[in-house]
A and B are shown apart, each in its own frame.
Chain A
Amino acid sequence: MMGSQKRIGALIVDDEELARHVIRELLVSHPEIAVVAECANGFEAVKAFAEHKPDLIFLDVQMPKLTGFDVLELIGENACVIFTTAYDEYAMRAFEVHAVDYLLKPIGKQRFEEALEHAKRRLGEKMPSGQQLADSTRPPQQFLERVVVKDGTRVTLIPIAKLDYVEAQDDYVALASQGKKHLKQQTIASLEACLDPKCFVRIHRSYIVNLERVARIEPYGKDSRLAILSDGVRLPVSRAGYARLQSLLDERK
């Protein structure tokens, strides 16, 4: 694990300066921890993580554009994260379920020390994925509103309405939006579960399509069909997929 002389690198992420200050101050009595960077939003955090590879991250849940969960999803599961939040019953439940360390604001010294001790003991262990956490914070019957993807170091937010279709590629999914494809490490089934079934249909083992984009369906071969999207893209439709598409269209009538 860690050498005794090597200091633990920590990242503080919060959109409020005063909130970052509290954590910095609480860390003063911990010379074994070095704050490598402070970030005011998720984008900065993703960049700083790539740059400094910190061991420990204090991560606020509610931040502009990218939430703490998004950040965790983008940086992977190898960082040890202590989440901070003022009040979010859904997030708190998710932390409990997944045994993730978290601090409630205002942050008390004793609680801080406990969380820090606990986090230090599990440095190097894998975190639950940001995806999992985000999914368990979403109330039932509420679906994904946007997807975050990272191309290299660039972070892109794709609003769900702008998602044309999804294609499975081994362990990845390719998200097609406005003529571009973005790769994301996720299974097509887990993504399908987060999408509104009234708008998105699994038309094929490897394809989910945004119903709004489907211009027409054409027969193709003996048993299968092709979905022609409004921008001309052609996607295969399996027999089961066609049945799902039909029942959805019937429901909409």
Chain B
Amino acid sequence: MHPLFTRGRLSLYLLAWVPFVATSIYVLATRGGLVWWQATAIAVPVFLFYAFLCLFAWYPCRATPLGRVTFMRLLLTHLIAAVFISFIWTHVGALLAYAVLSPKQFEAIKSQFGPQVNAINTIGILLYLLSVAFHYVLIAMEDSRRAEAQATEARILARDAELKALKAQVNPHFLFNSLNSVSALTSIDPSKAREMCILLSEFLRLTLGLGEKTVIPLSEELALLERFLAIEKVRFGARLRVEEKIQEESKSLLVPPLVLQPLVENAVVHGIANLPEGGVIRLVSELQDGRLFLIIENTFDRESTINRRNGMGLVNVRKRLEGRYGTDASIRVDSQTDHFRVELSIPAETGDLRK
């Protein structure tokens, strides 16, 4: 499809022809002795026709892309096309003049402009070559726009892949420590060991399943957290205390999967695990004025080592919220002396899960 065939571009293109039309009307009227309407009746269709003919330059331009064919071939292609097109144009123009004018007037015009037929042809050729140049510019613009679109698309794909990878990640430290707990429990309390195995399997299964979805009901994310915290409670014993305040209406709202899990994991790894006496993790969900607020708060020790993985969970969640909600989601981090708090605010969405 010709790139000019959009309304805005086509009218601009035609506008560029107006000076030529005006000039030829003027020349036909003053030198050819025609009245204004006659001059207009000839010049307008003749140039309209030529404007149309010049659009065909697009095809040879595409067939001989700049920089990829020899200069000779370029020159020959466009010159032959120019001569051919200009020839058609001048003869169609003469035909039109013959139709519009009285025989006497036509003869007068013929004797006036006949000797200059070569000059007119040259103008036609030049106009056509101008159109060739114009088309090359147009093609270059199209190419660069397409390249840009492709780059954007590639970026989006890369981000999607990255997000997918982030979603599927299970902290190996968590996994091996849990397995170590299971190994200890097998001799102390076999039924507890079995329960722990079940919890761990359920957690892993939920994690794997969620990675493929774009959104899930909050209740599913909470089910995942329940497993995660139950496992961590076995490891940390009385050091880990959990408080939950989950509003019933919020449970059916949609959230990106694994949006809370990394934050709760942070609360354990950077909060509770750094406190010899342990601490509290508080989980709040609330629907307010069409927005879903999710709060994760934990006790922490400001002075203890900043773990290497610190911040990754938060960055990951931030990126994923941006990816899905753009500027419509916010994430607020508040760290006081002994408390760390993350508050997410996202639009309350219900409904179609396959979105």
Which residues on A are within 8 Å of B, measured CB to CB? 15-19, 21-22, 25, 40-41, 43, 62, 64-65, 67, 86-88, 90, 104-107, 139, 142, 145-146, 157, 159
Establish whether residues B276 and A145, one from each chain, have CB atoms under 8 Å apart when the complex forms: no
Cα distance A146–B302 when bound, in Å? 12
Q: Which residue of A lies closest to B278 (CB)?
A: A64
3 pairs of A and B residues whose beta carbons are closest in the complex: A105-B180, A18-B184, A86-B176
- Most chain A CB within a 10 A radius of its CB, from B173, B175, B184, B303: B184
Given known A-B contacts A139-B308, A145-B305, A16 and B173 have beta carbons under 8 A apart = no
Establish whether residues A22 and B183, one from each chain, have CB atoms under 8 Å apart when the complex forms: yes
Which residues on B are within 8 Å of A, measured CB to CB? 172-173, 175-177, 179-185, 187-188, 234-237, 273-276, 301, 303-306, 308
- Which residues of the other chain, B, contact A106 by a CB distance below 8 angstroms? 176, 179-180, 182-183
- Which residues of the other chain, B, contact A43 by a CB distance below 8 angstroms? 276
Cα distance A146–B303 when bound, in Å? 8
Establish whether residues B176 and A104, one from each chain, have CB atoms under 8 Å apart when the complex forms: yes
CB distance from A112 to the nearest CB of B (A): 11
CB distance from A7 to the nearest CB of B (A): 23
Main secondary structure of the interface of B (DSSP, over half): helix
Given known A-B contacts A22-B183, A87-B176, A107-B180, A15 and B305 have beta carbons under 8 A apart = no
- Which residues of the other chain, B, contact A142 by a CB distance below 8 angstroms? 308
- Which residues of the other chain, B, contact A22 by a CB distance below 8 angstroms? 180, 183-184
Q: Which residue of A lies closest to B185 (CB)?
A: A18
Establish whether residues A65 and B304, one from each chain, have CB atoms under 8 Å apart when the complex forms: yes
- Most chain B CB within a 10 A radius of its CB, from A41, A87, A90: A87
Given known A-B contacts A64-B276, A65-B276, A18 and B181 have beta carbons under 8 A apart = yes
CB distance from B171 to the nearest CB of A (A): 8
Given known A-B contacts A15-B276, A18-B181, A65 and B301 have beta carbons under 8 A apart = yes
Please tell me which one of the listed residues B184, B276, B306 contacts residue A19 in the complex, with CB atoms under 8 A apart: B184
Q: Which residue of A lies closest to B183 (CB)?
A: A106
Establish whether residues B180 and A18, one from each chain, have CB atoms under 8 Å apart when the complex forms: yes
Establish whether residues B173 and A87, one from each chain, have CB atoms under 8 Å apart when the complex forms: yes
- Which residues of the other chain, A, contact B188 by a CB distance below 8 angstroms? 18, 21
13 contacts between A and B (CB under 8 A): A15-B273, A15-B276, A16-B237, A18-B185, A19-B181, A65-B304, A65-B305, A86-B172, A86-B180, A87-B175, A105-B177, A106-B182, A146-B305
CB distance from A175 to the nearest CB of B (A): 15
Establish whether residues B173 and A86, one from each chain, have CB atoms under 8 Å apart when the complex forms: yes
